[in-house]
Chains A and B, each alone.
Chain A
Amino acid sequence: MDVALFIPCYVDQLAPGVGLATVDVLERAGCRVHYDPDQTCCGQPFVTAGAWREAKRLAALHLDRFAGAEAVVCPSASCVATVRVRYEKLGLLDGAAARELCDRTYELTEFLTRVLRCPNVGARFPHRVALMQSCHGLRDLDLGVPSELRHAGGENGPTETVLHEVDRLDLVHPEPRDECCGFGGLFSVQLPGISTRMGRARLDALEATGAEYVTGTDASCLLHLGGVRDRDGRGPKPIHVAEILASGGSG
């Protein structure tokens, strides 16, 4: 299958390893990966800042760049949520073609599980890993069952599914399961006191699982947690899901 790779601006600049791992994973799963080197940003920071004009401009550029792609895959649930959910809500879409492209934009683990139906990519990661499901993934993209709705039942989401397929990986969950880590984009610098208190609380909950690593679908959340961890000197090591899926096993 042909896949257009959508690499968030912050992954490109601050967490390039996540991007490379994503390429590896998709290729292992049998995809032909195409990367347009002139892509920049989906506009998420402007969407959340309420800068509508700027968001519209970047959204138009983004949709234009990926027009015609069979599938767009991105290692960031929040960026996918921006494209698939927020663009329409904020009136940033022009026409049916744009709407269809948004519907063909997927987060990596949901693409593997729901589109390719190939949750096992032959990875091995012999460590205890705590899953921190990001808010956008959980509540906007249906990548798992949020704790608020556990009473209604539901199956494990795609992120958990692919992690369970990783050889020798011991998957654990923090308690509370899914309180926000405190990144929230601009929130992290507009309310830095509360943001870091949230990050510290999340790390404490993750640490209590005895996990060596913490993983998730958003490098942004992981960079924020990593930053708190590095300042405090304790807590599990952040690693993106793509990096776990790309490790060990056959190439």
Chain B
Amino acid sequence: MTTRERILGAVTRACSRTRVYPGPYASPTTEPLASDFGRAIREAGGRMEGPVPHGDVPSTILSVCRLQGTGPVRVTPDLDVDLGSHASTVDPDAVPASLDDTHVCVARGLVGVCENGAVALPLESGALRAAPFLCEHLVLVLGVADLVSDLHAGFVRLLDRRSEGSHIWISGPSKTADIEELVFGAHGPRTLTVVLVAD
């Protein structure tokens, strides 16, 4: 008998099969407000810029980058913002370690959740997964239309857009309170800025 058979057999013998699935969860519906989203991001230690009009997005991103000092700015390929010569695009097939010197990474968010400030990003190649973690500062670009009120709506919206692939919810800079008090930049980015784009 394999271990698999042994464990599944023991589980089957133990299962009572009595309690039923409670069905879908009905969360109280509220308006997704950019102000709530901004507050949640701030509480998690991040910052929000905007909502800014479409035309101002590149300059907003660049001024955020400048605030963080100098160093390579790298953007993900799905970012539909032209930053000209100030930034380079991450090669999806790059060796992830080559991105270790990234100063600012700019990526496109898919969905933003107002109750907790979480932004969903797709997880694709190794380089694209690593980029938002190896950088010193992370900037996420998100449309106001991409905001939903709570995490239940967030998962529904994500399903609408991406089917069921790997993804990550990012709600703030990397942080820890393991040495008595809160510190940012435990392993990943020290700051998180969300640039919200107006409709």
Contact present between A and B (CB < 8 A): no
- Residues of A near any B CB (own CB < 8 A): none
